[in-house]
């Protein structure tokens, strides 16, 4: 078995070394259980020293320094070079927790006939690695997702190469939630989702991050409308607020661990997940 991880990098030099080291630190642990690591870093043109840092890792990483049309397009370029059986991707400001990829590898070995995508939990962390709370993925449902009642924690989600190749990859025109759309496309191809409660990553929010700035509200509104149509085949005019409320409350009850963490951690700027 081989695991391929893709990192998209663009002027996040402050966090990049932590990201890279968190992945490469898994290499020997994976080798101990007979699993290879294939790590690809995509950087379309950083000017903050990130490229020089990536170069310093030599042959430990596959480097892809090509211009692209944005993060989703960069991921497509990265995964076109991936040769693993299991895929995952990590933004350059996020990290894996120690032992994460061993858990992923062992899970897929044990559940290879029943799972195409596995999603775990993550620590929600700040700029200095402070932990705000834990984020737990939901059990995936297309209809719940259509009504904003389902969340998968992206850096803690991994999928098979076979399932990825059944889709057209990431939508290069999606600038806000390319991972969410990929999961929808996989679901429409019959993907089997499994959620686990193991913490696999650190999901970072900071002043420059998309989550931290909350700068994409209008784009997210458009995205939700488009996903509703893609999943249900209906125009957004048929969208039911009462159905949305039902799925949101159902999520709070069913994913009670996440609800408790949210109550304890509170809701504040940059920590709205």
In the predicted structure, residue 214 carries a pLDDT above the cut 50: no
Measured CA to CA, the distance from residue 258 to residue 26 in angstroms comes to: 27
CATH number of the domain that 75 lies in?
A: 3.90.550.10
Q: Is residue 199 part of a domain?
A: yes
Using only C-alpha atoms, the chain has a radius of gyration, in whole angstroms, of 18
pTM of the model: 0.93
Q: Is residue 196 part of a domain?
A: yes
pLDDT for position 215? 52
Q: Is residue 146 part of a domain?
A: yes
Length of the chain: 273
pLDDT for position 212? 44
Q: Is residue 273 part of a domain?
A: no
Closest CA to 40 of 26, 20, 25: 20
Measured CA to CA, the distance from residue 114 to residue 185 in angstroms comes to: 18
Reading the block at residue 236, the tokens are: 């957004």
Measured CA to CA, the distance from residue 96 to residue 85 in angstroms comes to: 19
Confidence of residue 84 (pLDDT cuts 50, 70, 90): very high
Decide: 265 and 203 in contact? Cβ < 8 Å. Answer: no
Q: Is residue 270 part of a domain?
A: no
Q: Is residue 44 part of a domain?
A: yes
Decide: 103 and 210 in contact? Cβ < 8 Å. Answer: no
pLDDT in tens, 128-165: 999 999 999 999 999 999 999 999 999 999 999 999 99
| Residues spanned by the domain of 62 | 2-265
Q: Is residue 271 part of a domain?
A: no
Q: Is residue 89 part of a domain?
A: yes
In the predicted structure, residue 268 carries a pLDDT above the cut 60: no
In the predicted structure, residue 208 carries a pLDDT above the cut 50: yes
Closest CA to 156 of 129, 118, 109, 115: 118
Reading the block at residue 201, the tokens are: 């990553």
pLDDT for position 219? 87
Give the number of domains in the chain.
Answer: 1
In the predicted structure, residue 177 carries a pLDDT above the cut 60: yes
pLDDT for position 272? 45
- What is the pLDDT averaged over residues 182-205? 97
Q: How many CB atoms lie within 10 A of CB 124?
A: 22
Mean predicted lDDT score pLDDT of the chain: 93
pLDDT for position 217? 80
């Amino acid at each position: 078995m081989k695991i391929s991880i893709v990192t998209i990098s663009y002027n996040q030099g402050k966090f990049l070394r932590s990201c890279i080291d968190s992945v490469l630190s898994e290499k020997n642990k994976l080798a101990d259980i007979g699993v290879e690591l294939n790590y690809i870093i995509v950087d379309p043109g950083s000017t903050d020293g990130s490229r020089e840092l990536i170069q310093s890792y030599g042959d430990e990483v596959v480097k892809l320094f090509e211009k692209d049309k944005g993060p989703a397009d960069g991921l497509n370029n990265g995964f076109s070079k991936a040769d693993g059986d299991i895929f995952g991707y990590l933004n350059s400001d996020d990290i894996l927790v120690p032992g994460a990829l061993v858990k992923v590898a062992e899970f897929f070995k044990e559940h290879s006939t029943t799972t195409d995508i596995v999603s775990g939990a993550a620590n929600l962390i700040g700029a200095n690695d402070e932990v705000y709370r834990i984020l737990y993925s939901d059990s995936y449902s297309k209809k719940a997702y259509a009504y904003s009642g389902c969340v998968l924690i992206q850096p803690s989600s991994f999928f098979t190469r076979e399932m990825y190749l059944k889709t057209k990859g990431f939508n290069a025109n999606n600038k806000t939630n390319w991972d969410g759309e990929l999961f929808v496309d996989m679901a429409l191809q019959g993907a089997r989702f499994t959620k686990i409660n193991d913490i696999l990553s650190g999901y970072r929010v900071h002043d420059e991050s998309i989550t931290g700035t909350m700068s994409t509200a209008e784009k997210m509104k458009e995205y939700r409308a488009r996903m509703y149509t893609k999943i249900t085949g209906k125009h957004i005019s048929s969208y039911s607020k009462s159905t949305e409320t039902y799925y949101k409350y159902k999520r709070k009850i069913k994913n009670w661990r996440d609800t408790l963490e949210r109550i304890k951690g509170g809701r504040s700027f940059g920590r709205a997940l």
